[in-house]
Structure 1
Amino acid sequence: MQILENYNLAIQQNIFGYITKAAKELKVDAFVIGGYVRDYILERGTAKDIDIVAVGSGIALALKVAEMLPTKPKVQVFKTYGTAMLRYQDIEVEFVGARKESYSEDSRNPKVEEGSLQEDQNRRDFTINALAISLNEDSLGDLLDPFGGVDDLKSKLIRTPLNPDITYSDDPLRMMRAIRFATQLNFQIEKESLKAIARNEQRLGIITRERVMVEVNKILESPVPSLGFLLLEETGLLQQILPELTDLKGVQEVEGQKHKDNFYHTLEVVDNISGYTDDLWLRWAALLHDIGKAPTKRFSKKIGWTFHNHEFVGSKMVFKLFKRLKLPLNNKMKFVQKMVLLSSRPIVLASEVTDSAIRRLVFDAGDEIESLMTLCEADITTKNPNKFKRYHNNFKLVRAKIKEVEERDKVRNFEPPITGEIIMKTFGLEPCREIGQIKDFIKESILDGMIPNEYDEAYQLMLKKGKKIGLLPNG
């Protein structure tokens, strides 16, 4: 099957032309393979990375191509893996020699030997990633599809080239990749392949958390992340990765009173927010915003099911979760913590919008106030159209009030106009707890609207507070 006849992407055609010439000169066969071919057939846009297989030395081919290119790009060589990589006009091209692999029980790192193109395609994870296009002069553009990958693309199917139990047991990361591709492409995982993932889910334990989280993040960055998380839950993988989420699953009923299934609600929130933001960490906040509900769930005969302080408990859980999963323990983690902690505040405000409550919200959220409002709006999952409209209208009022208060009182990330140094100088103090008491009193007074956020009023309040706790100004 000839597939490159309408090939008109100049940059890629150019790099392929050089590869064809270099392969001919070295007397090796070369093929573009994998994701580039898949996405080219699916017309998913211009690829930024290309995988080249040489039946021979991939490193030698990379070096020859770099030598021929006018830009003479530097070639990164990875001798351990027999691979090489170069960059050309914003495209990353990786070269590898065709190989066959064999695995041991306790590792996903295979024993590698030189092989044929067929053996190289055999080792690929899915039929849609085993597609190859010839870059050889005598068969340029021919598609090699030994496992029916094109038919699977048409059928929107994720299927392994060989026995799925062997494929997933050999390299358990492929289970995550299957779900990730199904989510990104909106494909189905072939029935036997899906069962094999469930049978082999415990094998995921040999994969590093870092590699697993790369796949989880890609699922979370997909257009409809719930597709992936539902598959992770169905196959048992989610219980291994994020038991805090699976703990939310299920509905309990006591004395005729039920609570909603917070697992499925969470996935709705994640899908909702994905329609408004590509921010991975805000999507993480949506995924984790209710994780405190499982440990705080209680039933009261007077008021029914409660989840008191679930935001606070959930924000504390975020640190342990990020640490366990090897996610970044930096400002990204702190951002997610803040979003989880504040996730219910605008919802409470929506029923009674007061200036003081808005000031405190803006102060506590700081520069993340817009992200917080986006999260809260995504949290509206009611199927009642009247309630849906009312809740969103309430949030419009909150947003308008935030803008009004922010413009007037300027409390976002504010520091009280009276500093610790001013307090120490005024009262002749060394560092002591009274300084903190005065600063906090001034800050709270500004947030409560007792005084404006201005120096003179704050200075007078400092004197009054100082007098009340037994401090007199110098002189």
Structure 2
Amino acid sequence: MARAQDVVAKHAALLEPLAQLFTSRGETLYMVGGSVRDAMLGRGVHDLDFTTSARPEVIREILDEWGEKVWDTGIEFGTVSAIRHGETVEITTFRSDLYDGVTRNPEVTFGDTLEGDLIRRDFACNAMAIELSLDDELRLSPTFHDPVDGLSDLVEQVLDTPQAPEVSFRDDPLRMLRAARFVSQLGFTVADRVFDAMRDMAGEIERITAERVQAELDKLMLGARPWEGIDLLVSTGVASYILPEIPALQLETDEHMQHKDVYRHSLTVLRQATELEDEGPDLKLRWAALMHDIGKPATRAPKEGGGVTFHHHEVVGAKMARKRLKALKYPKHVISDVGQLVFLHMRFHGFGEGQWTDSAVRRYVTDAGELLPKLHKLVRADSTTRNAKKAARLQRTYDHLEERIADIAAKEDLARVRPDLDGNEIMQILGLEPGPEVGKAWKYLKELRLERGELEHDEAVAELKAWWERENA
């Protein structure tokens, strides 16, 4: 409670005038939801969320007087927002919505009590409130309200619903995804009854649009422990409806087809990838880490003499990753980059220690392009062997590759590998007009550049002419 009061005190210059305006209108005002939860956890509080007895039109009138800028795009749902001194507040009238059990869009109904508003929230730890009450001198004197005992859940780091979870999830199935998201963000676990309800009602998630699913998955994937959020979705069956490629990694084994647990391996790679991040959470890297082996179930085949192979699983997996991310309505650049990382993640393993030619290094860098730093992290994270000597050898080999890349990059501009002759020179030398022949010639010179490195101008011209003669022989 002290931490939450500290947040109120920190913003007293902002909130005291606001509380005074509401009190003068005979209305109550409460800080609620994630603002209170994060304050009590000692996490940073960014946007300030409030609920109030005031109806939307009254909120608007008060904020017009208090705020520097006000917007009411959510007023039909009882929400009005404002900004003052760089701080954003969002204030919503008490709600007591009715759900139809078909969509997640409620029939908006305004309530009359704080308790009625809090009990309809997703989790008890998000259903605590701090009343911005005033003393006799009209100074802030905050009062803590916790009608559903969210503080106990906060202390125990557990997610439980204020109502029966079956009621909560039937009202809004997106709350099942929010449970997994909070597991990732906060490190909490779910109550047994919440887990059971998620398992029994997993199919209800199909009522949610792909856009809303994607938004929650983003927050989950960018959390502190995304592998735990994903594991909750898989173990409850929710993932089978929104990310079926991930539970499919739980391959059955028999005495003739032994291999590592691909699902657990993928979660480990995701965890190790997050540990390698050096500039904050990387959504594309994390998705690639989770999905890098999703092509394995489709490519698994027995190996003569025992064991199993997954030939070209990176090719199949890249296509599957693009298809799934497209279905989840991800932007094209996310789909393309994650697919390319999955496609390239095995390239390193095609070369043994010390067997990388200059040509192979150039192709590796060129094919990765701007994704090269992410590819470095993905490949390193993909080493999950318990054999310490093997793990050290793999990391040492990749160290050597990065040294080779740096060495060649110091001699050549690997970031902009281009043919030694441009299109205009090609047309002039071969006497061509613009057309497909010029493109073929350019592609040939690009391959030559990757294979042999930078050529002298006269050498490049001679190679082009020789190629043209062969093409037209």
Same fold, TM-score > 0.5, yes or no:
yes
Matches within 5 A, 1:225-236: 225-236=226-237
- Hey, what does 1:127 align to over in structure 2? 124
More displaced stretch, 180-189 vs 371-380: 180-189
Residue 434 of structure 1: CA displacement?
Answer: 3.9
SS at match of 2:101: coil
Unaligned 5+ runs, structure 1: none
CA gap of 1:96–1:225, structure 2 versus 1, over 3 A, is same
2:65 to 67, 72, 91: 67
- Hey, what does 2:450 align to over in structure 1? 447
Residue 50 of structure 1: CA displacement?
Answer: 1.4
Letter matched to residue 114 of structure 2: L
Matches within 5 A, 1:247-262: 247-255=248-256, 257-262=257-262
Residue 84 of structure 1: CA displacement?
Answer: 0.5
CA gap of 1:302–1:439, structure 2 versus 1, over 3 A, is farther
- Contact conserved, 1:409 with 1:453, CA < 8 A, in 2? no
Q: Distance in 2 between matches of 1:132 and 1:221?
A: 27
Q: Distance in 2 between matches of 1:321 and 1:290?
A: 14
**Deviation digits for residues 71-106 of structure 1, max 9, x if unmatched?**
x22333433212111123343211111121111121
Q: Distance in 2 between matches of 1:59 and 1:293?
A: 57
SS at match of 1:48: coil
The normalised TM-score by structure 2 is: 0.93
1:54 to 41, 47, 52: 52
Residue 128 of structure 1: CA displacement?
Answer: 0.6
Q: Distance in 2 between matches of 1:133 and 1:342?
A: 51
- Hey, what does 1:85 align to over in structure 2? 81
Residue 418 of structure 1: CA displacement?
Answer: 1.5
User: Is 2:122 the counterpart of 1:117?
Assistant: no
Residue 320 of structure 1: CA displacement?
Answer: 1.5
User: Is 2:14 the counterpart of 1:15?
Assistant: yes
- Hey, what does 2:460 align to over in structure 1? 458
The number of aligned residues is 464
Residue 222 of structure 1: CA displacement?
Answer: 1.4
SS at match of 1:92: strand
Q: Distance in 2 between matches of 1:461 and 1:51?
A: 68
Residue 399 of structure 1: CA displacement?
Answer: 0.4
- Contact conserved, 2:63 with 2:70, CA < 8 A, in 1? no
Q: Distance in 2 between matches of 1:189 and 1:291?
A: 27
- Hey, what does 1:108 align to over in structure 2? 104
Residue 17 of structure 1: CA displacement?
Answer: 0.9
- Hey, what does 1:286 align to over in structure 2? 289
- Hey, what does 1:198 align to over in structure 2? 199
User: Is 2:399 the counterpart of 1:401?
Assistant: no
SS at match of 1:316: helix
Matches within 5 A, 1:169-184: 169-184=170-185
- Contact conserved, 2:33 with 2:128, CA < 8 A, in 1? yes
2:382 to 370, 379, 383: 379
Matches within 5 A, 1:320-359: 320-328=323-331, 330-351=332-353, 352-359=355-362
**Deviation digits for residues 305-356 of structure 1, max 9, x if unmatched?**
111111111112222212211111x222111111111111123335322211
1:98 to 81, 94, 97: 94
Q: Distance in 1 between matches of 2:442 and 2:448?
A: 10
Residue 260 of structure 1: CA displacement?
Answer: 1.4
The normalised TM-score by structure 1 is: 0.92
Q: Distance in 1 between matches of 2:401 and 2:248?
A: 32
- Hey, what does 1:389 align to over in structure 2? 392
Q: Distance in 1 between matches of 2:8 and 2:30?
A: 18
Letter matched to residue 25 of structure 1: S
Letter matched to residue 190 of structure 1: A
SS at match of 1:74: strand
CA gap of 1:364–1:303, structure 2 versus 1, over 3 A, is farther
More displaced stretch, 274-283 vs 73-82: 73-82
Letter matched to residue 222 of structure 1: G
CA gap of 1:454–1:51, structure 2 versus 1, over 3 A, is farther
Letter matched to residue 424 of structure 1: M
SS at match of 2:311: coil
Q: Distance in 1 between matches of 2:204 and 2:77?
A: 24
Q: Aligned-residue CA RMSD in angstroms?
A: 2.0
SS at match of 2:246: helix
SS at match of 2:90: strand
SS at match of 1:415: coil
Q: Distance in 2 between matches of 1:89 and 1:347?
A: 55
Residue 432 of structure 1: CA displacement?
Answer: 4.8
CA gap of 1:447–1:380, structure 2 versus 1, over 3 A, is same
Residue 7 of structure 1: CA displacement?
Answer: 4.8
- Contact conserved, 1:299 with 1:305, CA < 8 A, in 2? yes
- Contact conserved, 2:430 with 2:465, CA < 8 A, in 1? no
- Contact conserved, 2:186 with 2:224, CA < 8 A, in 1? no
- Hey, what does 2:41 align to over in structure 1? 42
**Deviation digits for residues 223-272 of structure 1, max 9, x if unmatched?**
221111111011100111111111111242353x4111211111111111
- Hey, what does 1:147 align to over in structure 2? 148
SS at match of 1:85: strand
Q: Distance in 2 between matches of 1:176 and 1:91?
A: 29
Residue 204 of structure 1: CA displacement?
Answer: 0.7
SS at match of 1:412: helix
Unaligned 5+ runs, structure 2: none
